[in-house]
Amino acid sequence: MVDRLVNSEANARRIAMVENCFGSSGQPLAEQGRVLVGEGVLTKMCRKKPKARQFFLFNDILVYGNIVINKKKYNKQHVIPLEEVKLESLKDEGQHRNGWLIRTASKSFAVYAATATEKEEWMAHIEKCIEDLLRKSGKQPPSEHAAVWVPDNEATVCMHCKKTQFTVLNRRHHCRKCGSVVCGGCSSKRWLLRGQSSKPLRVCLQCYDELTRERSRDADPAAPPVKAAEGAGSGGDSSGDDDSDDDDDRVAQEKHDEPKFYSDGDKTEESNNHAAKEAGGK
C-alpha cells in the first residue's frame, strides 16, 4: 500500500504542507521514497505536565512539534528515526488513559491518544512502519533506551533518600539512567551514557552504584574510569535538566480532531480494497 503512495502527488502535497507549517523552524522533509502515513494531535507527557503536540508519522521518521496555530503553524520540530523506536503500551491509570511509550536510545517519553481506538491505530501504524524498515535494512532494533522521566509533580520528596523536600531552592533533578526525580545530593555523580550524550550525565546514587558494579563485572581493564564530577550538587549545574520542548504553552484547545491515516483512511484517493491483501508480501 505504502509503495503505491510513494510517487503520488497527494503524498508530495501533504509533505510540502507539513514543511510549510514548520517554516524555517523545521528541516526539509521531502525525500525520495518518503511517505506521510498519518498525522494528528497527541498529548505528550512533558517534565511539568502533559501538553498537546502535533505528530506526523512518515514511513521512516516520526516528527512532532508544538502547535502555534492549529493546522497552520508548528515549531520546535523533533525528528525521530523510526528504526530506533520501540513502543510500549501503558495501562490506563486515573487521568492517564490510552497511552504508550515512545522509546529511543537518546530520549523516551509517554504520549496519550484521545480514545482507545486512536491509540490502537497510532500504535499499529507506527509498529508497521518500524517493522517494514527493519525488514528492509536488516538492522536490529536498539536494545538500550533512555529512561522515561518521572514528571516533576509526581515527586514532592526525593525518590532516592525519601527525605529531601523539593522547594524553590531544593530543586528537582532527573536521573538520566532511571528517570527518577532526585535531590542534588542524591544525584551528585555523573556517568557516561553513550546513547544519550558524549558527556557524562547526572545519575542517582543507586544507578551510580549499579553501573559501577556492572562495569567491574564486565571488567574491561582497558577502559579508563569515568571521572565522576563530585560536588556539583548545590546550585550550579542544572543545564540539560530541562526538557527542551517544555516551554511555550499557548495551545488553544479546540475541539478534538481525529488523527488521519492516509494509507488506509483516504478512500477518495489512492485506496482500494485489493491493495490491503498484498500484506503478506514477498
Provide the residue type at 199 as one letter.
K
Q: Report the residue number, 41 or 181, with the smaller CB distance to Zn ion.
A: 181
Q: Residue 146 Cβ, how far from Zn ion at the closest point, in Å?
A: 12
Q: Residue 119 Cβ, how far from Zn ion at the closest point, in Å?
A: 29
Q: Residue 128 Cβ, how far from Zn ion at the closest point, in Å?
A: 34
Q: Report the residue number, 51 or 173, with the smaller CB distance to Zn ion.
A: 173
Task: Render the burial of 51-63: b for 16+ CB within 10 Å, e for the rest.
Answer: bbbbbbbbbbbbb
What helix, strand, coil percent values describe the chain, rounded to 5? 30, 25, 50
**Distance, CA of 239 to CA of 40 (rounded, Å):** 32
Helices (H), the chain: 2-6, 9-22, 116-137, 205-218, 262-265
Q: Residue 189 Cβ, how far from Zn ion at the closest point, in Å?
A: 10
Q: Report the residue number, 116 or 161, with the smaller CB distance to Zn ion.
A: 161
Q: Report the residue number, 119 or 160, with the smaller CB distance to Zn ion.
A: 160
**Distance, CA of 84 to CA of 102 (rounded, Å):** 10
Q: Residue 209 Cβ, how far from Zn ion at the closest point, in Å?
A: 10
**Distance, CA of 271 to CA of 2 (rounded, Å):** 10
User: Given the rule CB under 5 A, which residues bind Zn ion?
Assistant: 158, 160-161, 164, 175, 177-178, 180, 183, 186, 204, 207
Q: How far is CA 56 from CA 22, 25, 30, 221, in A?
A: 12, 15, 13, 45
**Distance, CA of 10 to CA of 36 (rounded, Å):** 10
Q: Report the residue number, 59 or 188, with the smaller CB distance to Zn ion.
A: 188
Q: Residue 280 Cβ, how far from Zn ion at the closest point, in Å?
A: 44
Burial classification of residue 137, based on how many CB atoms lie within 10 Å of its CB (0-12 exposed, 13-18 middle, 19 or more buried): exposed
Q: Report the residue number, 79 or 155, with the smaller CB distance to Zn ion.
A: 155
Q: Residue 78 Cβ, how far from Zn ion at the closest point, in Å?
A: 24
Q: Report the residue number, 70 or 164, with the smaller CB distance to Zn ion.
A: 164
Q: Report the residue number, 96 or 171, with the smaller CB distance to Zn ion.
A: 171
Residue 107, number of CB atoms within 10 A of its CB:
19
Q: Residue 251 Cβ, how far from Zn ion at the closest point, in Å?
A: 31
Residue 116, number of CB atoms within 10 A of its CB:
11
